[in-house]
Structure 1
């Protein structure tokens, strides 16, 4: 009877020496209140899931898996919700936990450990379809070493807590510094158009209501085998620059409706005022397309995340529209031979130019 009781006592003692434990992040008031963001989501993206640590808990026993209380995501979320004052109307930030790992070695009753900590922060948003998007902002990575007595693990929670607070401080500093000047963090967008209407002496004629085409602009040699009396090369393009001020993206587009002299030609017998008007109207159509392009590029038609792609798409669409309109114009006027149709197009083009404020 005595031996049995002794055996039970030893078993109980062994169980007491190997308790089931967790790492706890004790409360710690955070010294700042975010003015540019709130933490919306926390996601575990560690390559090694499961307990964050294998700890030396009992002398001469193998390290035991130990996790943060409630798991890494719940532990971080609870700590942030309890200690960081948040305004949910501010920018939503996602925390991506890339690494939170504790490794230890024990020599006798002294344990040395290393903590690797790595989190990434992303700005959450939505695309045109309503699907969630995320934009990479900044990251925080740290390592820390510690020593502890065999039976005490509080230093681990304290060190992880310090790393988490440091990462949030780093995010707060980044947001305060970048909010007004970083395009990723912009809250609004404006568009400014400038028309390139320079009058130059080089090969390019930029559209200017006060500078009509002349036959001297048609410098190319007439194309051999062409059945046409003249050809004018016109097109349009844009150059874009953007800047951010006070959290607003300012998109500046320089628009160019132009004619190339060395790609345009006219036969000597065709160089009449009537034929020149027909070619001028091709140039007018190009200008109309640039004005239509402007109407497609307005702040309410653009997104902060993808405004540049939208501008490029609309440019391609209007370029196609220009080619189509030029073809219809030549088809209906029979390249200017049908005078009645030409007059209708003259009036139609003038009316649209007036609607854009180009022609009085």
Structure 2
């Protein structure tokens, strides 16, 4: 947004230091932003702090205070960030029960140059970035760029403060309009999170390489399509897998995370030898598949709103998945070790009972 000011000459003397006019310039000069009551009241946020993040943190302005002299550096009273925060605190109603917003000044400078017929031209560049603070993190929200120009006669400087103040006001108005319109639709402004799950049980065609876990569709030996390795001493091997995919959307400040849970086996990597082609061996492989399904139930319990950060829920979910996968690998190994890959029938019967009981708790048996 660009602002252009061209004001008529003003009376009164230099605003940069009280009690001094242009003819008796003090050793120092500052620009004091005069508070005013803004026409809008925030209902979604308050300005918690102002940070000066300019590349060059020199004096805010370079002004022509005397036509026969070069420009001199002139800062905002107390420094750029403190001066703007003080102005906002005195001009904008602040409700600290609302969302805290940090204002970062990324560009801020006002430069004057000599113009025609003794006039002085001024140019203000002001870029503001607004961040929201949530869960002790500062998250980028929206940016505003305001440029303004003016022309003034020598010795009359009120326009300088007015241009800076009006540009800051426009930045605040821009933020206010954005928050009023988008507060329920922007993820970094969300205040709640919910999770829903969908178990993929699609029955694929016979030609497909993938079989998704379905309690109503147990495995058959026809699902084991890979040629058995001659050097392997086992009768059969299943290649199960677990995965998830998901997306999220936001509505009225609530992030909805929707996850699809996939438990599957790959026919092209699962095999059986003729010696193992019996119901007992098939049951052993089915139990490997069941254990994978139970692992995803554990994953479902791990991923709940209390375990997820609004700021980093994707990473939270990925961490829980990796931890679930690690635990699954250990349990699969424990199952094979204790049953001696199905040879120990007593241990196999014990695992059958245990797995069935767990499946029943989830309505899968």
Structure 2-normalised TM-score? Answer: 0.90
Aligned residue number for residue 100 of structure 2: 92
More moved, 13-22 vs 321-330: 13-22
Are 2:121 and 1:115 equivalent residues in the alignment? no
What is the aligned partner in structure 1 of residue 180 from structure 2?
A: 176
Matches of 1:183 and 1:18, distance apart in 2: 51
Distance of 2:21 and 2:47 partners within structure 1: 45
Supply the distance in 2 between the matched residues of 1:313 and 1:113 (Cα, whole angstroms): 54
Contiguous gaps of at least 5 residues in structure 2: 1-19
Provide Cα deviations, 1:150-196, integer angstroms capped at 9, x if missing partner.
Answer: 11111011111111011111111222222111111111000001101
Q: Which residue of structure 1 aligns with residue 319 of structure 2?
A: 313
Structure of greater relative contact order (alpha carbons < 8 Å, 6+ residues apart)? 2
Stretch deviating more after TM superposition (233-242 or 67-76): 67-76
Q: CA deviation at 1:43?
A: 0.8
Partner of 1:282: 288
Q: Work out which of the residue numbers 264, 277, 287 in structure 2 matches 1:258.
A: 264
Change (3 A) 1:87 1:73: same
Aligned mates of 2:204, 2:28 — CA distance in 1: 84
User: Is 1:24–2:28 an aligned residue pair?
Assistant: no
Segment drifting more, 40-49 vs 337-346: 40-49
Which residue is 1:190 aligned to?
194
Equivalent pair of 1:23/1:154 in contact (CA under 8 Å): no
SS at match of 2:297: helix
Displacement of 1:145 in angstroms is: 1.2
Q: Distance in 1 between matches of 2:359 and 2:259?
A: 20
1:73 to 67, 81, 86: 81
SS, match of residue 252 in structure 1: strand
Assess if the C-alpha contact under 8 Å between 1:56 and 1:111 holds in 2: yes
SS for the counterpart of 2:228 is: coil
Q: Is the 8 A contact 2:221 2:272 kept in 1?
A: yes
Aligned residues: 343
Partner Cα distance (2:21, 2:347) in 1: 106
Secondary structure, aligned partner of 2:76: coil
Distance in 2 separating the partners of 1:79 and 1:188: 33
1:106 match: 114
1:40 lines up with 2:44 in the alignment: no
SS at match of 2:248: strand
C-alpha displacement of 1:237: 0.5
**Does the 8 Å CA contact 1:18/1:58 hold for their aligned counterparts?**
no
CA RMSD of aligned residues (A): 1.8
The answer as to whether partners of 1:23 and 1:153 remain within 8 angstroms in 2 is: no
Q: CA deviation at 1:70?
A: 2.5
Where does 1:182-331 land on structure 2 (aligned, <5 Å)? Answer: 182-201=186-205, 202-331=208-337
Please name the residue that 1:162 is paired with. Answer: 166
Unaligned runs of 5+ in 1: 1-11, 127-131
Q: CA deviation at 1:15?
A: 6.6
Q: How does 1:105-144 map to 2 (within 5 A)?
A: 105-106=113-114, 109-126=118-135, 132-144=136-148
Whether the 8 Å CA contact 1:189–1:250 is kept in 2: the answer is yes
CA drift at 1:25: 1.8
CA distance in 1 between partners of 2:25 and 2:241 (Å): 83
Q: Say if 1:204 and 1:261, in contact at 8 Å, map to a contact too.
A: yes
Deviation of residue 29 (structure 1)? 1.9
Contact (CA 8 Å) 1:124, 1:134: kept in 2 or not? yes
| More displaced 10-residue stretch of structure 1: 165-174 or 301-310 | 165-174
Q: Secondary structure at the match of 1:67?
A: strand
Deviation at residue 18 of structure 1 after TM alignment: 5.4
